[in-house]
Amino acid sequence: MHLLKWLYPGMRFKRWLLLFAAGVLLIIIGLTIVFNYKYIDGIEEFIFRIVYTTTGTYNYTVTNAVGILIACIGFIVMLLAMRMTIRSIITVLLPDSSEKLVDLIYEKRKLDRGPAITVIGGGTGLSVLLRGLKEVTSNITAVVTVADDGGSSGRLRNEFGIIPPGDLRNCLVALADTEPLMEKLFQYRFEGESELAGHSFGNLFIAAMTKVTGDVEKALMESSKVLAVKGRVFPASTAKIRLNATMEDGSIIEGESQIPLAHKKIKRVHIFPREVEPVPSAINAIKNAEVIVLGPGSLYTSIMPNFLVKKVAETVRKSKAIKIYICNVMTQPGETDDYTVSMHVKAILEHAGIGSVDYVLANDKQISPALQDYYAQKGQYPVVVDEEAIHELGVGFVKADIINETNVIHHDSEKLANNIMQMAYGLKTDGKWNKRK
C-alpha cells in the first residue's frame, strides 16, 4: 500500500511515469524495426509505402534508419521523464535547489569519495578548519573538547549540569549546509541586562535538545538535521570535567578559563576527575580515520583536554592514519609565550605520547610589520619555525601559506583544507600510507 501512494492525485509523479513508459515503448518499437521482427510488419509496410511513394525506390537501410530514429526518440523521452520525475521529488524536498540538481548530485558523490578525516580540538580554530574541509569531503568527524568553563557555555554547564555546548555549536555551524539565516540564528548572542544576556541561541538550543532527548549525542544528531550538517560532531566525553594546570613553579591553576590568566609557564595539564569514559562514537571515528588532524587551536586548553580523556590518546597512537598537527601562527599569552613550533609539538608528545603526531603543518607566509606591531601590543608574536628541532622529535614538517591577512591574522579555511588534502594524497601510494620512517 505504501508504494501506491506514489499514484495519489496531486503527487505530480504519474505523468512522468507514463512518459517514461512511452519512452520504453518507443525504444522497443524502434529496435523491433531494426531487427525486422514479423509482428511489426504493419509498421514496416507503412514506412515502405511512404518512402516508395515519395522516392520511387526502397532500401532496407531506410527501415533501419527509421527504427534507430524512433529508438533515439524513445531514449530522449525516457531521459526527459526521469529528469522531470526526479525534479518533481526534489522540488518538494529541496525547493531552492531544484534548478541545480545535477550539481547537487555531482557534489554529493564527489564529497562522499573524499578521505575519512577526524579532527580533534576545540575553539574557533577548529571551526575554521571544518569550514574548509566540508568543501572537499563529507567524511568528516569533529571530536570536541568539553573542558570549557567560561562565558555562556560555563553558565549553562553550571546551571543545567550539561557539558559546555559552545565549541560543539561552532563545529555544527561550521559544517552546516543550510541557509545563512539559520547560521546567523544559531550564532546570535542575546544582549542587554536580562538573564539571557551573553547566551547564544545555538547554546540554548543544544542545551534544550539535550534535556529533551536525554542524551547529548542524540541532541547533536538532531541538531545536525536542523542545520543539514556535512559530517558528524561528537564530544570527547559526556562527563563533566574540570581542566587544571600544573605550572613550572609547582602551583596548580584550576579551571580552563583561569589557566591563561595566571601568566605562568605551563608544565602539564590534567583533568578532574582523572578517569572519564570517552564517547564510543568518537573513539570509532579515530579508529576509522584515514587522516587525523590536531588543531588549530589553543594548545593546552583546546587540544590537550581531548587527549586526557580515557582511550583517546591511546587510540590516536595506534591508528594507522596520517596524523597532522596544525600549529598556531601566533603565540598565545599565558599559554604559549615564547613557544616555537617544536615546543608545541613536544608538548603534544608529552601529553599524548610518541606516535600521536606524524607531521606538523606550519605557516611560512611573512606577516606584515604593521600586523606584528598590532599583535605585539597584546603580547602575541609569530611562532618561530625551528626545523632542526622539529626533525629531532622524529616528526615530519610541511611549511605553507595557511593564513588570511586582513586587519587580523586568521588561519584560512580553504588554504588549510587544500594543504591537508595535498598531504593526505601526497603521502598515500598504492593504497597504503607512506608514513615517516
249 CB-near residues (< 8 Å, 6+ apart): 264, 265
pLDDT over 70 at 103, yes or no = no
pLDDT over 50 at 129, yes or no = yes
Per-residue model confidence as pLDDT tens digits over 339-356? 999 999 999 999 999 999
Summarize the confidence of residues 196-206 as an average pLDDT: 89
Per-residue model confidence as pLDDT tens digits over 389-423? 999 999 998 999 999 877 678 899 999 999 999 99
356 CB-near residues (< 8 Å, 6+ apart): 294, 307, 313, 316, 317, 323, 348, 349
Q: Tell me, what's the pLDDT at 227?
A: 85
What is the number of other CB atoms lying within 10 angstroms of the CB of residue 45?
A: 10
Overall residue count recorded for the chain in this entry: 437
Q: Tell me, what's the pLDDT at 437?
A: 38
pLDDT over 80 at 38, yes or no = no
Q: Tell me, what's the pLDDT at 81?
A: 72
Which residue type occupies 199? H
Summarize the confidence of residues 73-83 as an average pLDDT: 74
Q: Tell me, what's the pLDDT at 31?
A: 65
How buried is residue 339: exposed, middle or buried, by Cβ count under 10 Å (0-12/13-18/19+)?
Answer: buried
Q: Tell me, what's the pLDDT at 3?
A: 47
Nearest one of 289, 369, 294, 383 to 337, comparing CA atoms: 383
Q: Tell me, what's the pLDDT at 306?
A: 97
pLDDT over 50 at 1, yes or no = no
Alpha-carbon distance 368 to 382, whole Å? Answer: 11
Give CATH superfamily name and number for 114-146+236-433.
CofD-like domains (3.40.50.10680)
Banded model confidence at residue 40, pLDDT cuts 50, 70, 90: low
Summarize the confidence of residues 37-61 as an average pLDDT: 62
Alpha-carbon distance 145 to 294, whole Å? Answer: 12
- Mean residue pLDDT of the chain comes to 83
62 CB-near residues (< 8 Å, 6+ apart): 47, 51
pLDDT over 80 at 21, yes or no = no
Alpha-carbon distance 283 to 302, whole Å? Answer: 18
Per-residue model confidence as pLDDT tens digits over 298-314? 999 999 999 999 999 99
Complete edge-to-edge strand list for the sheet that includes strand 252-254? 252-254, 242-247, 266-272
Summarize the confidence of residues 147-176 as an average pLDDT: 87
Q: Within 13 Å of residue 277, how many CA atoms lie on the same side as its CB?
A: 4
Domain boundaries, the chain: 3-97, 114-146+236-433
Which residues in 98-135 are b (16+ Cβ under 10 Å) and which e?
beebeeeeeeeeebeebbbbbbbbbbebbbbbbbbbbb
